[in-house]
Structure 1
Amino acid sequence: MTNHVPRLLKLAGPMILSTSAITLMQIVDAIVLSRHSSAAVAAIGPAGLAVILFQGFLFGTAGYAGTFVAHNHGRGDAAGVRKSAWLGIHTSLASGILALAVAWPIGQLFLLAGHTPDVAADEISYFTICMAGSLFPVLGSALAGWLSGIGRPAIVTAVTFFSFVINALLAWGLVLGVWGFPRLGITGAALATVSAQAVAAILYAAIFVVGRGCSDRSARRLDRVELGRFLKLAMPMGLRISGELLAWTLFLVVLGRLGTVELAASSIAFRINGMAFFPALGLGQAAGILVGHARGAGEDDEVPAIASQSLLVCEVWMLIMAVLFATCSAPLISVFAGHGPESARIVETGTLIMKFVAFYCLFDAANVMTGCVLSSAGDTNWVARTFVYSSAGFLLLLWLIDSFMPGLIAEWTLGTCFVLFTAVIWSLRFRSGAWRAIRVLHDSH
């Protein structure tokens, strides 16, 4: 059996940075906002998840171009690689226009969440600004997928790191009003995030142009038939990402009905969980690239080995993070809790929540890794359809708990069981081998 771990780790570092970019920016925002107000800390949880929820569908769809790139690269089709990259670019441009049009009306829905007026106002501000600037992370996702698919992940690392530094500096200045910047609070955090994403998108576009990505006129031309085939596989991927984020956003909104302390503590727990989840997602996407290369080269028998070895690496990572979350939960929560009158209660509540997070991390490795492998193999329709059904069941049970026996422990227990359930479903689907019958590319050479 081929050892795929060295190739996985070579790809994983840049992919981890790429997938962690938005959450790392939000973690920086949360730390800075903890020095501004507890209302802003509470607001960035639901608003940040809602941003990723809507953008998740967009960059999940556009970013699937990276899977097409990987399959074409695996079979040595350079023209197919360029055409696949342009499918992602065309999708990104349309997505950016759509997001700009719906940013303000969707943002007003936070008024219906039942949160306090100051928290709701901050949620609307953060969501509207980040959503209006969706073109930048979506385009960046598509072009990062192109670079990763052709085996150039180090460039993704450099661009991501540079944009992260820009976000951190701008967030500190615009949120707190230092270095001559106005004190804008959570609005400044949103502007810092969008600015950093814009810089990253411009850099990716410049790299694409220098790499002669615009020189192939036939690749640039919009082929509606090919775009339709792409969207048929890519949109379920976007739906799966946004469906998962929708479930967790609503989960956080329902927790907010218990009180501002519970909402702030849960928001912080989600931010800390990103330390484990997004590196795992980067590992999953790296495994997906290897799967794309293997399937493009006609080596389907290598896919199970790629999946099992990648899962083992991911489980080791998640186990390390689970131990950290379980043993150091109070210090981790206190970093984000600020120094307000409710800080002690936020730390106490967050410490309890982190025990649940530590436990479900052990199952989330299978959830993330197997989902990425199935999606890269082309099984996006089944994954999306099944996840819609399981999420509907999760939200129904959440509504029943909130209506008849609301409580922090009951609701977080349900969330943990949801993670376990989806991990089992993905694993059984992969073992069935149904993905072998699915073709991502239109023809073979």
Structure 2
Amino acid sequence: MTSFDKIERAATASREAVTTPGNHFAHELSETIKLALPMALTQLGQIAMMTTDLAFIGRLGNEAVAAAALAGTVYFVSFTFGMGLVSAVAPLAAQAFGARDPLLVRRSLRTGLWAALLISAPIMMFPLFGEQILLALGQAPAAAHLAQRYLFGLVWGVTPALWFLALRGFMGAVNRPEPALWITLAAIPANALLAYLLIYGEWGLPRLELLGAGLATAIVNFGTLLAGLWFATRRRPFREYHVLGHIWRIDRSLMRELFVIGAPISVAFLMEYGLFSAAALLMGLISTTALAAHQVALQITAILFMVPFGISMAATVRVGHAVGRNDASAVKRAGLVATGLGIALVAALTLAVIVSRFAIARLFFGTAESAEGATELTSTLLLVGATFFVADGVQSIVAGSLRGMNDTRVPLLFAAIGYWLIGFPTACWLGFRTEFGAVGVWIGLSCGTAVNAALLIWRFRLLANRLRSP
């Protein structure tokens, strides 16, 4: 028996275990949780590293924190293009795995690695010229200069970060997302130690401050990549795919498909990110207190979002497996189970946030009388955000299910409609033409996100109903 025969047997093992129709949903739920849990924890690990960096930078002063925020904006906008493209590895590899085609699994990863390398050069141009970009946008010269110091360190980690994302997509597609979690958990203390040493110049190293923070992140990105490659080439079941075999070959047809799938994902991510950036600008026009409350509420949203985002990644894989084996009923079931699981978990987390909203606000602003206004507004935004949290989770999961079917262009149109045709105008009108103010901006965000979620659900049902099992 060849190694590829073993892979094909592994590809069908999970569904052969389901012997009766009554077990289908329970089995699907179990498989989705097995995939989603390590994926969500990996994302939370990424947030933990970012939070550690921010805590160290905070000791350098408010100017350093502001500069890091500006640098993060420039970096994220550019990195998102590559992130969207590389995320297409997961559905392509998952469909190949479901179709019992290990050669196509390897080709999907190889194409993702090449795409990441090719897109890295233009992506790196934005951070390398970050100071000029920020000055053109009207930022203060001192802040722009400090931000550039941070970007000079961050930029060297672009390529390894994208390659690691491709490896994560491959690992998840073959039902083994755990190594990415183990690597991320090991990276958290490593990143904290490196950041501390390079920012403050301990153990005889030079004090590099923001440059050191960026370099620490870049070095950790290289480390996670090397660890990911070790798992992919040395450990079962990954090594059976010989992922680096014929690595020099560029698969032009699959590269075009990856760009067709991945480019709309990138633009959709930017649309969502752009909406929240625009909302921050609106809050700044209302008051400083409104902006501060918005940032805290948004940080809580980002943490909560990691749960449905992990389920979204699992939905992409599960739907991709079903598409690969042309199992229409399994496609519907995978999407339904993932969405139901996401709604249940996000609703429970949202309830916890509502109950503890005042404590959350005081955690950020303290109990001083001068912070009472910001605390009150933050708790109100968290209460209003209850509907937004659930809608945002649903849209993320259903979008992941659609990615498993290679459907990304229509969801991009829906993002434009939901976020910018409905969400942003509603936020502007309620924020400035009514008495709602900052609360109205969040109502607008909720409305736009809910519309996007509803359109995505309609799209998934439409496409799933068109499928026919053999």
- Superposed pair shares fold, TM > 0.5: yes
Match of 1:441 in 2: none
Larger radius of gyration: 2
Name structure 1 gaps, 5 residues minimum.
Answer: 439-443
Amino acid at match of 2:419: S
* Residues 1:233 and 2:261 are matched in the alignment: yes
Q: Residue 8 of structure 1 contacts residue 283 of structure 1 at CA under 8 Å; is this kept in 2?
A: yes
Q: CA separation of 1:34/1:321 partners in 2, compared to 1, >3 Å: closer, same or farther?
A: farther
What displacement does 1:7 show? Answer: 0.6
**Cα distance in 2 for residues equivalent to 1:263 and 1:184:** 31
Match of 2:457 in 1: 427
Q: Residue 115 of structure 1 contacts residue 257 of structure 1 at CA under 8 Å; is this kept in 2?
A: no
Q: Residue 50 of structure 1 contacts residue 246 of structure 1 at CA under 8 Å; is this kept in 2?
A: no
**Cα distance in 1 for residues equivalent to 2:282 and 2:135:** 14
Q: Residue 261 of structure 1 contacts residue 342 of structure 1 at CA under 8 Å; is this kept in 2?
A: no
Match of 1:104 in 2: 128
Amino acid at match of 2:279: F
- Of stretches 279-288 and 38-47 in structure 1, the one that deviates more from structure 2 is 38-47
* Residues 1:65 and 2:89 are matched in the alignment: yes
* Residues 1:196 and 2:231 are matched in the alignment: no
Q: CA separation of 1:338/1:131 partners in 2, compared to 1, >3 Å: closer, same or farther?
A: farther
Q: Residue 296 of structure 2 contacts residue 378 of structure 2 at CA under 8 Å; is this kept in 1?
A: yes
* Residues 1:24 and 2:48 are matched in the alignment: yes
**Cα distance in 2 for residues equivalent to 1:34 and 1:363:** 33
Alignment of 1:22-101 (within 5 A): 22-41=46-65, 47-48=71-72, 50-101=74-125
Q: What do residues 137-176 of structure 1 show as CA deviations (whole Å, max 9, x unaligned)?
A: 2111111111111122111111111122222333445556
Q: Residue 311 of structure 1 contacts residue 369 of structure 1 at CA under 8 Å; is this kept in 2?
A: yes
What displacement does 1:69 show? Answer: 0.9
**Cα distance in 2 for residues equivalent to 1:183 and 1:337:** 31
**Cα distance in 2 for residues equivalent to 1:177 and 1:258:** 41
What displacement does 1:131 show? Answer: 4.7
Identity of matched residues, %: 21
Q: CA separation of 1:310/1:41 partners in 2, compared to 1, >3 Å: closer, same or farther?
A: same
**Cα distance in 1 for residues equivalent to 2:358 and 2:193:** 27
Q: Residue 431 of structure 2 contacts residue 438 of structure 2 at CA under 8 Å; is this kept in 1?
A: no
**Cα distance in 2 for residues equivalent to 1:249 and 1:164:** 27
* Residues 1:278 and 2:302 are matched in the alignment: no
User: Tell me, what secondary structure is at the counterpart of 1:433?
Assistant: helix
Q: Residue 46 of structure 1 contacts residue 249 of structure 1 at CA under 8 Å; is this kept in 2?
A: no
Q: Residue 94 of structure 2 contacts residue 324 of structure 2 at CA under 8 Å; is this kept in 1?
A: yes
**Cα distance in 1 for residues equivalent to 2:165 and 2:107:** 16
Alignment of 1:271-420 (within 5 A): 271-337=299-365, 346-393=374-421, 394-398=423-427, 407-420=437-450
- Of stretches 38-47 and 54-63 in structure 1, the one that deviates more from structure 2 is 38-47
What displacement does 1:343 show? Answer: 6.2
Q: Residue 201 of structure 2 contacts residue 207 of structure 2 at CA under 8 Å; is this kept in 1?
A: yes
What displacement does 1:333 show? Answer: 4.0
Q: Residue 424 of structure 2 contacts residue 448 of structure 2 at CA under 8 Å; is this kept in 1?
A: no
- Of stretches 407-416 and 59-68 in structure 1, the one that deviates more from structure 2 is 407-416
What displacement does 1:178 show? Answer: 6.1
- Of stretches 287-296 and 403-412 in structure 1, the one that deviates more from structure 2 is 403-412
Alignment of 1:145-184 (within 5 A): 145-175=169-199
Amino acid at match of 1:412: W
Amino acid at match of 2:441: E
Match of 2:36 in 1: 12
- Of stretches 142-151 and 219-228 in structure 1, the one that deviates more from structure 2 is 219-228
Q: CA separation of 1:208/1:235 partners in 2, compared to 1, >3 Å: closer, same or farther?
A: same
Q: CA separation of 1:309/1:321 partners in 2, compared to 1, >3 Å: closer, same or farther?
A: same
**Cα distance in 1 for residues equivalent to 2:178 and 2:364:** 31
* Residues 1:252 and 2:252 are matched in the alignment: no
Q: What do residues 22-69 of structure 1 show as CA deviations (whole Å, max 9, x unaligned)?
A: 333223334444555445555655654553333222112112112111
User: Tell me, what secondary structure is at the counterpart of 1:362?
Assistant: helix
Q: CA separation of 1:102/1:34 partners in 2, compared to 1, >3 Å: closer, same or farther?
A: closer
* Residues 1:213 and 2:221 are matched in the alignment: no
Q: Residue 109 of structure 2 contacts residue 243 of structure 2 at CA under 8 Å; is this kept in 1?
A: no
Q: What do residues 88-123 of structure 1 show as CA deviations (whole Å, max 9, x unaligned)?
A: 100111122121122233554444666677666655
Cα RMSD after superposing both structures: 3.4
**How many residue pairs align between the two structures?**
438
What displacement does 1:257 show? Answer: 4.2
Q: Residue 41 of structure 1 contacts residue 264 of structure 1 at CA under 8 Å; is this kept in 2?
A: no
TM-score by length of 2: 0.81
Amino acid at match of 1:216: G
Name structure 2 gaps, 5 residues minimum.
Answer: 1-20
Q: CA separation of 1:326/1:339 partners in 2, compared to 1, >3 Å: closer, same or farther?
A: closer
